[in-house]
Each structure stands twice: as structure tokens, then as C-alpha cells.
Structure 1
Amino acid sequence: MTRITPPRPFDVTSAFPELAGMSRTATRLHPRAGSPTVHESSVGGPLLWPASEAWATCSQEHYARRLNTPEEVRTLRRTLTKAWRRQKPGEALLTQEERAVVERIHTGHAPRLLPTGSHPLIPVAQLYARDVPDMTCPQDTDLLQVLWCPFDDAIEGCSEAVQVRWRRAADVTDILVAVPEPAYIGNDDLIPTPCVVHPEQVSEYPSADELEEEVWRRLYRWEDEVGLSYRGDLSGAPGWKVGGWAAPFTFWEPDEEDERRCPTCQAPTSPLLTVPSDEWDGESGSWRPVGDEDEADAPPYPGNRNPTQVTVSRGYTLQFYGCTGDPRHLPVTVIQ
């Protein structure tokens, strides 16, 4: 099903002409639960990985309050999906047997069980250039693969815990079948549910963080007058996307561009991939695509607001910044 972003409720450039020259396009991915193959763009799906190439790993030590196995995460989600689909008003959500399974998984395993050494990373996204017009690929490549180590203390920064691979898909003829998985994961909110994507290119404007102080002060006054939210309705698109403008900063303001430079070569970085905790929220509901069910009719679990079931740091956004000098360098990731 095609997902189409509704028109913006107001043309912000008519009130702020200086923003017209700051428009950028981004590709909204609109991930929805499905069964993607290695030959398709996906979030959390299988990767077109050469059998002769070692799988991406992380050898860093990570901290977690509890551990789960990847299969336990899948079991938990299957159990909850089945329960929500059959629930009737007045009935308990879970059977006694299901409750025991859910409680056992939520209890998890002691952190001391985490093995030492290298841990396989898990797939986050696979994107073919044919599907994502806003993705600038290195020469002779047409495929981006993103992987990370599913621990809260691993996903932000610049390290081997978050990696990208650029490939020429036609070069991968012998595909890895037995894909390794980590023995344990530190946060099941960082395991994407396999999703197919429905790419759509949209126009967006910078967040207030990126504007001159005089402009954003006028914007805030204007918002009060017209009853619209620049951040929620008119600037950057929410949800999983490629390119465009970076997500707004929540914890700190980007005073120094150097903080987002590539640590490997000091080249500037640019927004590569945006990983949100929701496709939209109460402030950005006007971006909900046409083609999705009304919230009252949508399945409550996992639902269209978070079909990937990824939650970043209890509800924030993880912004990937790619090196403009060499996209193969490790990305810089920032929780925003």
C-alpha cells in the first residue's frame, strides 16, 4: 500500500521567505511490518551479505541491567501480537500460560552471563539506491547496510558498535545464509521488527536549532498567533527517513559544528539516516500518511506509530551523520 504524506497545513515560506532557500528533500521510509528479502530495502530485515565476508562485530564491553536472547525477544513479540489480535472487551489480555512466558522474558538473565570477546551486530536497515533518491552513495555502490550492537550505551557516538557497509548489489552472488546473532542483547527496544518500506520523497525545512536566533524568535511568536507548530507541522518530517535535515536537538544545542565532524578525517558530516521512536506523535500527527488506518481502527500492537518496535532512550531519536569526505567511515550517531 502506498503511503502519502498529507500536504502541510501552511506554506511556511509565505510568512518566512528566507526559509525557501533552505528547503531540502528527504525520503520517508514508512516501514511497516512484513517479510522483506535480502533483495529488498527494509528495516530490520535480512542483509545481502557476501558469504566470503566476515560478519560485522563489536568487541567493546557494554552494560545492561538484564539480558535477553534474540529468540526471547521474538517470542515475546509473537505472544503479545497474538494476544492483542484475539482480545475481546472484558477479557484478560494474556492467558495464564502466556503471562508466565512474558514474565520470564521480562525477568531476563543476569548481566554476568554476557560473553567476552566479539559480539555479532544486528541489522538495522538495508537500503537500495533505487528506492531512496536522497541517499548519496559512494562511487560504484548502490546499497547501504546499517548494523548496531543492541545495548543502550553502544548506539551513540562513533565506534565499531554502529557500522555501515556500502556495496554494489550485483557483486554479491554468493549470499551468506547462516547469519550470526549475538548470544544476548541488552535492550529489546533496539531489535527492529522486520519491516518492508514504502519510500516517499518529501520537502522539509531546518529545525529551529539550525536557524539564526532572530528567525526562530519570530517563528515562536508567529506560532502563537496562527496556532501551528513549526517543529511539529512545518519543518522536518518525523519517522524513519534518509537525508533531509537533522532531527531537532533535545538535550543540547549544536553550538559547534566540530562536534559532528568525522573523527576519522575531520570532514563535515551530513544527516544520513534518522531512527525515531515513533513514526509520529501528538505534536507531529499531521505527518501521518494517508493510507494508514485511523488510530482507532489500527491494531494496538505493534501499530503503525511504531511498527519497527524500536525505541531510542525511552522515546528520543537517533540521528546518523555520514562523513562527507568518505561515506565508508564510521557514522557519528547522536541521540536528539
Structure 2
Amino acid sequence: MSRTTPPRPVDVTAILPQLAPLARPAIRLHPRPGSPSPHDSSVGGPLLWPADEPWPHCNESHNQMDDLYEAYEVYASQDYEWHDGPNPMVPVAQLYVRDIPLLRPPGQADLLQVLWCPFEHEPDNKPPTALFWRSSTEVTGHLAAPPGPFAVEYDGYIPRPCVLAPEPITEYPNPMELSKELQQQLKDWSNWQAAGSAVDSSWAPYPDSFYDSQLSVAPGWKAGGWPPWGLTDPIACSCIACGAKMAPLLTIASKEWDSSNTGWVPYEDQALTSLDDARVANPPKVQVSRGNHLQLYVCPESPDHPHTSLIQ
């Protein structure tokens, strides 16, 4: 299985050469329903988890009345029990470096595993996450039946198992991360007219939106790249251990595209009947904070320093 993002309508660095030094590599993951094994990169699939290593749990309370009110319908339709105590975490993604080579693993590690608690916790109302780096060759026996969660706030926090089709791309910053001078140039339609017929004239009233939605940050699940700001202005993320500027690691998305950015839809999916249908645009059926994205950041100085996350 493969997925191919169409080339961007124009080479943005030919229009605005100042953007060239800001290019960043990213890898779109393109999760699609499947039956991944513990030896595959996946979203929501089984992890290559050592049989003799304790499964991670979230130790916060999961029996609050507000949660009960909001999650009633989910619990009523599933076999979860209320549990005030440690809640087994849920596999979100497993990424092998052979598939996602821009990952920067520590030491001899070649595998990143991401889990979360399927509950939004205060103060940021987002699911707490846990990252594990490991060497796959050192796992001699994996856990065949990991524990499932006792409590789930929303079914959108239980990813549907998906195989991946990693695809390298190049991204440029969200307009809000650019200098005032560059932002003004993005708003100048004459700059885009220089690209000729490649730019649809319907963008003339909103030239900066053309850059934002079609040329800068790819939607959907991805590793690396630039952050997908929009819910908030850009937020500086500094490592609490050393103060270093943290780097984007993984974007966990509530959809791969919507009506505003269908230009990013892979060729292989363009024949689907309704591109904006959530069943098509969100194969893992993940809903982060009612339709937003969760951005994970790590310290470039040390993988032992705590990671952080932001809702966008």
C-alpha cells in the first residue's frame, strides 16, 4: 500500500525565496484500516511490548462526575467499567525507524511507541501521553494480551488499528510563524500572479490563505515537520529540564483532510465518493479534544528529558 501526495500547485520558494531556509522534512503517515502485527509500524495496532515489562497505567482519577455526565453514552454502549484508580494506557502509534527515518532515536533504539490515557485530564483537557524508545532486537518475547482500559471518556480515544504508508514531504511554516514582512508578501496577490495559471484566481481575495492551506503545513498524521497552529497562536515549547527549544515529533490528527485542504488528498484516495466524509478522512476514527490535533514535542538535547504536548 502506498499513498502519494500531489505536488504543490507552485514552488513556493520560487515565489518567495526567503522561505527556502525554512523548509523542513516531514513524513505523512497515511494510516488506513488493516491488521498490523507487533512487527509493523501502525496506528492503534499491537505493540512489540516485552512480556516481562509492566504495562503503563495512568494513575489519575477516572471517576469524576463531570466525566460521567459527558461520557455516559459511550459507557452505556461499551463494556467498560467505572474505575477510580490506575487505568491501563492505550496504544496510539508504533513507529519503526526503518519506516520513519527522520526519527532521532537514542542509542541503539529503532522503535518508538506512543500510548495515552483515553481520558482528557486537567489542566489542559487533553489525554496524557507516554513515549517509549526501545530496540526491537532486544524484545525476545512480546506481550500477547496487554490489559485494556477500565475507563474511556470517548470512543475517539481508542484508535482503530491501521497500517501506515509513510511518505516523505517538505513543509513550510504556518503564516503565524513568519516575519511581518513575509506575512505581508503572502497577502500580495501580485506575488502569486507571477506563478501564472498554476494559482486559481478564486484565491485572489485571500492570497495568504492559499499559502496556508495549500503550500505550508500538511494535514493529518505525520512525523516531524512544522506545527499546525490555528486553534492558538504559536506557543514556544521549551524543555523543562534544560530550556532547549523542543522539536515536533508527532502530530496525532482527528482527520487527514477537510474541505479546506483537499489539495493534499493522496492520488489513491481522490476517487472516493465523499472526500469530506469523516469515515473517509479519518480512518483511525480518532477524535482529539472534539476534533482537534495533539502535537507531541521532544527535547533535541536528550531523549531522557520529558516530552510535552499541545492541542491544536
Same fold at TM > 0.5: yes
Of the candidates 92, 106, 115, which is equivalent to residue 138 of structure 1? 106
- 1:335 corresponds to 2:303: no
Is 1:238 aligned with 2:219?
A: yes
Deviation of the 1:152 alpha carbon = 2.4
Aligned with 1:20: secondary structure?
helix
1:23-80: CA deviations, max 9, x gaps?
11100000000000000000000000001111111101245234479xx88xxxxxxx
Contact 1:162–1:330 under 8 Å retained in 2: no
1:89 paired residue number = none
CA 1:284/1:158 → structure 2, altered by over 3 Å: closer, same or farther? closer
The answer (yes or no) to whether the contact 1:320–1:334 under 8 Å persists in 2 is yes
Q: Larger RCO: Structure 1 or Structure 2 (Cα < 8 Å, ≥ 6 residues apart)?
A: 1
Match in the other structure for 1:224: 204
For residues 143-189 of structure 1, the C-alpha deviation after alignment (integer angstroms, 9 at most, x for no partner) is: 00000001123695899x31000000000011111201111101111
Match of residue 51 from structure 1: 51
CA distance in 2, matches of 1:264, 1:172: 30
Question: Following TM superposition, by how much is the alpha carbon of 1:266 offset from its aligned partner in structure 2, in angstroms?
Answer: 2.9
Partners of 1:45 and 1:22 lie apart in 2 by 34
Matching residue of 1:149: 117
Q: Does 1:272 align with 2:272?
A: no
1:228-283 per-residue CA deviation (whole Å, 9 max, x = no partner) reads 611110001111000111112322342xx2xx112244332100000111101112
Pair 1:126-2:94 in alignment:
yes
Q: Is the contact between residue 294 and residue 311 of structure 2 (CA under 8 Å) also seen in structure 1?
A: yes
Alignment of 1:86-235 (within 5 A): 104-105=76-77, 114-153=82-121, 161-222=128-189, 224=204, 229-235=210-216
Sort the Cα spacing of 1:50 and 1:157 in 2 relative to 1 into closer, same or farther, 3 A. farther
> Would you say the 8 A contact 1:243–1:273 is kept in 2?
yes
Q: How far apart, CA to CA, are the structure 2 residues paired with 1:315 and 1:288? A: 19
Distance 1:154 1:285, change over 3 A: farther
TM-score by length of 2: 0.86
TM-score, with normalisation over the residues of structure 1? Answer: 0.80
CA deviation after TM superposition for structure 1 residue 118, in Å: 1.2
Change in 2 beyond 3 A, CA 1:12/1:295: same
How many Å separate the matches in 1 of 2:100 and 2:123? Answer: 24
With over 3 angstroms needed to count, the CA separation of the structure-2 counterparts of 1:146 and 1:155, relative to structure 1, is: farther
Tell me, in whole angstroms, the C-alpha distance in 2 between the residues paired with 1:277 and 1:184. Answer: 21
Q: Which amino acid aligns with 1:238?
A: P
- Which amino acid in 2 is paired with 1:186? E
Counterpart CA distance in 1 for 2:258 and 2:302 is 34
After TM superposition, the runs of 4+ consecutive aligned structure 1 residues lying more than 6 A away are: none
1:21: which partner in 2?
21
- The number of aligned residues is 294
Q: What is the Cα-based RMSD across aligned positions, in Å?
A: 2.7
- Distance of 2:239 and 2:126 partners within structure 1: 9
Specify the SS of the correspondent of 1:302.
Answer: helix
User: In structure 2, which of residues 278, 283, 286 is the aligned counterpart of residue 310 of structure 1?
Assistant: 286
Q: Once the two structures are aligned, what percentage of the paired residues are identical?
A: 43
Distance, in Å, in 2 between the alignment partners of 1:137 and 1:157 is 29
Q: How many Å separate the matches in 2 of 1:207 and 1:7? A: 18
Letter of the 1:25 partner, please give it: P
Tell me which moved more, 163-172 or 176-185.
176-185
Distance (whole Å) between structure 2 residues aligned to residue 301 and residue 317 of structure 1 = 15
- Aligned-partner residue type, residue 274 of structure 1: T
- Between the aligned partners of 2:61 and 2:180, the Cα distance in structure 1 is 41
Aligned position for 2:198: none
User: How far apart are the structure 2 equivalents of 1:214 and 1:201?
Assistant: 29
Report the CA distance between 1:328 and its aligned residue.
3.6
Contact kept, 8 Å, 2:4 with 2:267, in 1: the verdict is: yes
- Unmatched runs of 5 consecutive residues or more in structure 1: 74-103
